[in-house]
Amino acid sequence: MSWINDRAPIQMKYYILFGPPGAGKGTQASAMVERYNLHHISTGDLLRKEIKAGTELGIKAKTLIEAGSLVPDEVVEGMIENEFKTVKGVDGFLLDGFPRTLAQAQALDELLARNGSEVTAVVSIMIPDEMIIERIRHRATIEGRADDANVDTIKNRIATYHRQTEPEIAYYDAKGKYYQADGVGTIEEVRSRIFDIVDKF
Ligand code: ADP
């Protein structure tokens, strides 16, 4: 009997990059992907692709995104499942912008459990609210995102984050999976705080 054939499959890692809008998730995701051989899934990027392509989903999502509201849970859950199924050759996935509601967090747990897996860790980048507006307004001048250009939209995104997304902290903390990195500092400083957390897994 061969040990190689009997070896347990390597456990895929599922990291969630958590934090308010503008915390620097996209920036830090690139560094993590490279260091840990992960596939980056940004639900915001996937939705923006749909908008650009003018799909039915994109047309529906556009209005919600530009108002600073969330798109329906089923829409993003479907996108995530599709990525899990189609992407091969990585050691794990880095979820950025998902889950964003407790219902999405529960759906993710169920989806992973069905495949004999689970969330590895939630890495949270924390910045104070005052800094969110400053960072997003700066990004607006670089990336030209419609939802970054309007202060009322940004304020609604912050409110949406506190109301719908922040409750996930207690959810994952209760499971012993929540890790927080201070998001204030240079890109390199924040990156090394994140690596200190993720290197342990
Ligand atoms: P940011 O991190 O700056 O808020 P994202 O690119 O992650 O930006 O998301 C942009 C917008 O896309 C959100 O404000 C929301 O409308 C929509 N969106 C992204 N991810 C989700 C999700 N998991 N559930 C619902 N809506 C989402």
pLDDT in tens, the chain (201 residues): 333 445 445 689 999 999 999 999 999 999 999 999 999 999 999 999 999 999 999 999 999 999 999 999 999 999 999 999 999 999 999 999 999 999 999 999 999 999 899 999 999 999 999 999 999 999 999 999 999 999 999 999 999 999 999 999 999 999 999 999 999 999 999 999 999 999 999
The dihedrals phi and psi of 124, each to the nearest 5 degrees, come to -105, 130
Contact 10, 63 (CB under 8 A): no
Q: Is 19 in the pocket of ligand 1 (CB under 6 A)?
A: no
| CA-CA-CA-CA dihedral for 83, 122, 201, 113, to nearest 10 | -50
Q: Which two tokens stand for residue 7?
A: 């070896």
Contact 151, 133 (CB under 8 A): yes
- Is position 145 annotated as part of the catalytic site? yes
Q: Take atom 10 of ligand 1 and give the residue whose Cα is closest.
A: 44
Ligand 1: centre distance to CA 161 (Å): 10
DSSP letter assigned to residue 121: E
How far apart, in whole angstroms, are the C-alpha atoms of residue 166 and residue 18?
9
How far apart, in whole angstroms, are the C-alpha atoms of residue 105 and residue 103?
5
How far apart, in whole angstroms, are the C-alpha atoms of residue 70 and residue 61?
8
Q: Is 20 in the pocket of ligand 1 (CB under 6 A)?
A: no
User: 131: helix, coil or strand?
Assistant: helix
How far apart, in whole angstroms, are the C-alpha atoms of residue 67 and residue 119?
30
Q: Is 105 in the pocket of ligand 1 (CB under 6 A)?
A: no
Task: Quote the pLDDT of residue 7.
Answer: 46
User: 51: helix, coil or strand?
Assistant: helix
Peptide bond into 9 cis (omega under 30): no
What's the pTM?
A: 0.92
